[in-house]
Each structure stands twice: as structure tokens, then as C-alpha cells.
Amino acid sequence: MLRHLPAPLRGLLAGLLLVLNTLFWCWPLFALALLKLLLPFAACQTLCRRLMGHIAEAWASGNNAWIRLVQDIHWHVEGLEQLHPRRSCLVISNHQSWVDIFVLQYHLNRRLPLLRFFLKKELIWIPLFGLCCWALDFPFMQRHSKAYLARHPEKRDADRQATRRACARLSGIPLALFNFLEGTRFTEAKHAAQQSPYRHLLKPRAGGIAMAIDAMGEQLLTLVNVTIHYPDGRPRFRDLLCGRLRQVAVCFEEQAIPQEFIGRSYDQDQAHRQRFQQWVNRLWEDKDALLGRLHRQFPPRAD
């Protein structure tokens, strides 16, 4: 309906719809979060978390609606039919743009349990966004430099304990715990600075998902490995708002998490850490090869 409007006007209307959708759903979410704080009983906590999950899914559905209003995206999707909406899982993906989050939301909403992202602790201060993520029990991570950890070795275990606490609060409900393994968005400058051995990817960071597997134990039944490719180049968020996102290729692959990694300490077991990093590196080698195939299969569209 909005696809024939000028791009700046589409962007303005899409941004307004995003804000209104967020404002509409955040208030019942905050009300349930307050109820969860006031009634610290297990049954009440579980019920509130389930209801809050449904609210977050409704918000995601609203976002999907305005995305369809402003543009006609040509989707090239593989592997989506194998996913299960009630199966707890770990989800990983390459990271190129803020648009990635809306692409994941578009396809995975109600096809997996609610995605809960690993977030930098500083993001909790973003108005509305940070409070909503806190209410939904997203794990906030505090990243420390090697120099800081050398001065404060007691902080080495802080992220693992924070992940354990966040995951413990989510026990009893289906869970999809998400992590961008690269830790930051891909750019050519970052790729060159890292001297990454991969053609289309930055180096993966294994520690985050290792902590998640350690914290969740048997609750995470599978790994959902997502690969995103934008044939026309990495989009900016305003490209999504303005209807300039023309085609996206997304591949989903569900696979088992090796049992040898369950219940092992990534920080304290050097042999386990080495095997885990090798496993992640193999995942990334396969993903890099897949991205090479997607680049060949879906070239940029001619105007």
C-alpha cells in the first residue's frame, strides 16, 4: 500500500509505525514485568514470562506488517521448514547490518521460541529498548579488556555467572538464545584489521555460546545456524525503512550440539576450550563457503 510513495515519505511513515507499535506493546509488557517483581512465586513468574513472550511476538508481527507495507522484498529462503516452534535452541548468525535483526524476526517469529539476544550491558540504558530487553530477561554481558582482567582476575567469571542467572530465570519455558558470533557488524575495514582467514566473515568469538551451552546444559536441544546474504550490498537501517531492501537470501540449518560440550567449563578447561574453538571454526568455514555460493547464486539485481 505504501510501496508507490517516495522513499523519504515511506521512511517517515515506517519509522512512525515502528514507534507506535513499540509504544503500544511496551506498556502491557512493563505491567507484567512489575507484576513479576511483586509476586515472586514460581507459577506466577512462569505465567508472566509466557505472557510477556506473546507480547514480544505480537510486537514482532507488527514490525513484519509495516515491512510488507513499504516494500516487496524478494526472499530466497532455505531450511525454514525444519524448525520447531517449541524446541529450545541456540541460534547463531553472521552479522552485517542492524537490518539483520529484522530479517531474523521476520522469518523466525513464532517459528522458534522468542529470540533472546546477548546484549552489551551499555544497551540497557537505551530508552524503552533497554527496559524491554531487561523485562524479557535478555542476558546483558559486560565485556572486559585483557588489561582490565589482568588487574581484576575476579571479573573473569562475571559473564558466565550473569549468563547462568539469566538462563536460570528462563527455565521451564521454551527458549531460543541468540548470538552474533562475530561480535560486531562486518565491514571491509574490520575484516582487513583482523586479517580474517574468511573471505566473507570476521573471526568468530566462541566464548559467548560456550557460556550459554555451559549455563543451559540439556535445555538447549539444537543449534540453528543462520546465514544472511544481501545480494545488493549491506543495507542501512534507513534502507529498510524507506523500502530500498530489494532482495535477501537467508539459509537456516538445524544441527545437534555435540554432547561433549554439555556441562564443561570453557574458562577453566583448556582442552575443552581448544576443541570448542575448533568446532566453531569449522562452522565458520562452512558458513564462509555457503556465503560464497550465495554470492554466485544471487548476484545484484540490475536496475
- 3 state SS for 271-302: HHHHHHHHHHHHHHHHHHHHHHHHHHHCCCCC
pLDDT at 266 over 80: no
Cβ atoms of 252 and 228 within 8 Å: the answer is no
Task: Cell numbers for 240, please give them.
Answer: 529498510
Share of the chain above pLDDT 90, in %: 55
Angle (CA) 71-74-75 rounded to 5° is 115
Determine the pLDDT at residue 287.
Answer: 98
Stretch 178-194: mean pLDDT: 93
Higher pLDDT, 132 or 12: 12
> What stretches of 203-271 adopt beta strand conformation (E)?
222-229, 247-256
Better pLDDT: 47 or 119: 47
**Length of the chain in terms of residues written:** 303
pLDDT at 107: 97
In whole angstroms, what is the distance from residue 56 CA to residue 29 CA? 8
Residues linked to residue 76 through DSSP beta bridges, in sequence order:
249
Alpha-carbon separation of residue 255 from 157, 235, 271 (angstroms): 29, 29, 23
Model-level pTM? 0.90
For 135-140, the CB contacts below 8 A with 24+ separation are 135/29, 135/30, 135/32, 135/33, 135/52, 136/29, 136/52, 136/53, 136/56, 137/49, 137/166, 137/169, 137/170, 138/166, 139/163, 139/166, 139/167, 139/177, 140/166
What is the pLDDT, as a whole number, of residue 147? 65
How confident is the model at residue 37, as a pLDDT? 87
- What percent of the chain has pLDDT above 70? 90
Extents of the domains making up the chain? 72-297
pLDDT at 285: 97
CATH classification (class only), 72-297: alpha beta
Cell of residue 45, nine digits = 513468574
Q: Stretch 81-97: mean pLDDT, rounded?
A: 91
Convert 108-122 to b/e letters by CB count within 10 Å (16 or more is b). Answer: bbeebbbbbbbbeee
Which pLDDT score, from 0 to 100, does residue 97 have? 95
pLDDT per residue as tens digits for the range 126-176: 877 888 888 888 877 766 555 665 676 666 666 667 666 766 677 777 889
More confident residue, 113 or 124: 113
User: Averaged over 178-207, what is the pLDDT?
Assistant: 93
Least confident span in 90-94, 189-193, 266-270, 296-300:
266-270
pLDDT band for 41, please (50, 70, 90 cuts): confident
Residue 182 above 90 pLDDT?
A: yes
pLDDT at 57: 95
Residue range 266-284: mean pLDDT, rounded: 89
Residue 192: CB atoms within 10 A of its CB come to 9
Nearest-10 Cα torsion for 194, 266, 124, 250: 60
pLDDT at 158: 66
Of residues 212 and 145, more confidently modeled: 212
pLDDT bracket for residue 44 (50, 70, 90): confident
pLDDT band at 296 (very low <50, low <70, confident <90, very high): very high
